[in-house]
Structure 1
């Protein structure tokens, strides 16, 4: 691998901040990062703690005309619960919650992502099946020929 595949980034004092590795070099670098730093392992969503504080903030500032909802259903595998926060073990793990009313869960059975969008007068729910591989249409591409 030559130097042209790596762009080093420095702050104004010259301290190293990091590096950008282009797409051509990535296949060679990824296994090294996985081995040396334990990155990209398939530990699943339970590797990160649930952001319960974010959920509590949403409840604290709840201004929708309906009560908070705790039911979650997976449109992919059919698993469902009336109160995700009381399940032991969890059937769905909270992945994200924002004051805007967007709440995301991960199904513990099939790893699908369930998104609940709380609007003023309704809740819309989406289920996105788990994909083991990244969608090629959503990958970032960089023009490496420009200097």
Structure 2
């Protein structure tokens, strides 16, 4: 779709359009028509984006990882969300807990979901270091 030069089309890293920024004067002209449409769109999007009922955490897989832990550094239960800056010294503690364990395996992968912003936070444990990654729900 071709936009006027005064419209800014924001694209994802793979080139897909994800948003359009329009000049304030254009918004003022269409606001009364656009608001009802957008409010319906956002309420539907919020309903479809809700996290399904929490499935049980893979505690047995996590405990197995700890039993066979042979990395060159001690296990740290600290988790931090780089998106909303939620953090916990120990993800297993707190009420309510700020993170849920969603995946764990003996190979060193731990995956958490931030309860505040639903970001997926991954800890990839290697022999000498741990790599941190995250994915944010859009």
Count of aligned residue pairs for this structure pair: 92
User: Following the alignment from structure 1 to structure 2, what is the Cα–Cα distance between the partners of residues 43 and 54?
Assistant: 26
1:101 to 74, 85, 108: 108
Once the two structures are superposed, the pairs formed by residues 86-125 of structure 1 within 5 Å of their partners are 86-125=93-132
Query: What RMSD in Å do the two structures reach over aligned CA positions?
Result: 1.8
SS of aligned partner of 2:107:
coil
Cα deviation code 1:33-76 (max 9, x no counterpart): xxxxxxxx765265201111110000011010111110000011
Cα deviation code 1:63-101 (max 9, x no counterpart): 101111100000111100110011221100000001110
Please give the TM-score of this superposition, normalised by the length of structure 2.
0.62
Q: 1:75 to 1:46 in 2, by over 3 A?
A: farther
Q: Unmatched 5+ residue regions in structure 2?
A: 1-47
User: Following the alignment from structure 2 to structure 1, what is the Cα–Cα distance between the partners of residues 80 and 111?
Assistant: 12
Q: Unmatched 5+ residue regions in structure 1?
A: 1-40, 132-147
User: Following the alignment from structure 1 to structure 2, what is the Cα–Cα distance between the partners of residues 125 and 67?
Assistant: 16
